[in-house]
């Protein structure tokens, strides 16, 4: 009885091991298909929609927008650091913080205005909307997740 049980368990173990090995062997078709990596990790948002001249014009709009937004984004970062410092200061009152919050709101308004103007110009000229910003660059999502 013990021998039958021993043989049955060993036979099942060998059968399971052999079936997993047989399933794990890649076929030659998969190797051929997977050997060529894709050209781009992320597809470009306007491929096929715009001509080369329109793409160059879009690039000029984007560069101009980034030049206008760079100082605003630096100021936004500095204001956020100041806000965190004031919040962490013991005995701080809302009246002192509200002035800084108003500056932050004005800065955010300027950033939104620059983006909206650029998006309107691009849409009127080229007929496409600007792509949304890449969310994986935001640090707060890493901390919150």
Considering the domain architecture, whether residues 62 and 26 belong to the same structural domain is answered as no
Considering the domain architecture, whether residues 21 and 88 belong to the same structural domain is answered as no
Considering the domain architecture, whether residues 16 and 87 belong to the same structural domain is answered as no
Considering the domain architecture, whether residues 66 and 111 belong to the same structural domain is answered as yes
Domain with 118 in it? 52-132
Number of domain units in the chain: 2
Interatomic CA distance for residues 75 and 81, integer angstroms: 10
- Give the range among 45-49, 53-57, 80-84, 137-141 with minimum mean pLDDT: 137-141
Considering the domain architecture, whether residues 127 and 69 belong to the same structural domain is answered as yes
In terms of C-beta distances under 8 Å and separation of at least 24 residues, what long-range contacts does 97-106 make, across chains too?
Answer: 103/79, 104/76, 104/79, 104/80
Give pLDDT, residue 143: 52
Is residue 46 one of the residues assigned to a domain?
no
Is residue 62 one of the residues assigned to a domain?
yes
Considering the domain architecture, whether residues 127 and 56 belong to the same structural domain is answered as yes
Q: How confident is the model at residue 145 (pLDDT cuts 50, 70, 90)?
A: very low
CA quadruple 142, 129, 113, 42: dihedral, nearest 10:
20
């Amino acid at each position: 009885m013990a021998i039958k049980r021993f043989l049955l368990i060993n036979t099942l173990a060998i059968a399971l091991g052999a079936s997993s090995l047989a399933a794990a062997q890649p076929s030659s078709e998969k190797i051929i298909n997977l050997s060529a990596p894709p050209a781009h990790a992320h597809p470009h948002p306007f491929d096929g929609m715009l001509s080369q001249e329109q793409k160059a014009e879009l690039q000029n709009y984007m560069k101009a927008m980034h030049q206008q937004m760079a100082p605003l984004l630096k100021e936004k970062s500095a204001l956020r650091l100041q806000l965190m410092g004031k919040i962490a200061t013991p005995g701080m009152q809302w009246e002192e913080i509200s002035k800084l919050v108003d500056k932050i709101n004005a800065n955010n308004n300027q950033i939104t205005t620059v983006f909206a103007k650029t998006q309107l110009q691009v849409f009127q000229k080229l007929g496409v909307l600007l792509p949304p910003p890449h969310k994986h660059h935001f640090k707060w999502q890493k901390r919150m997740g």
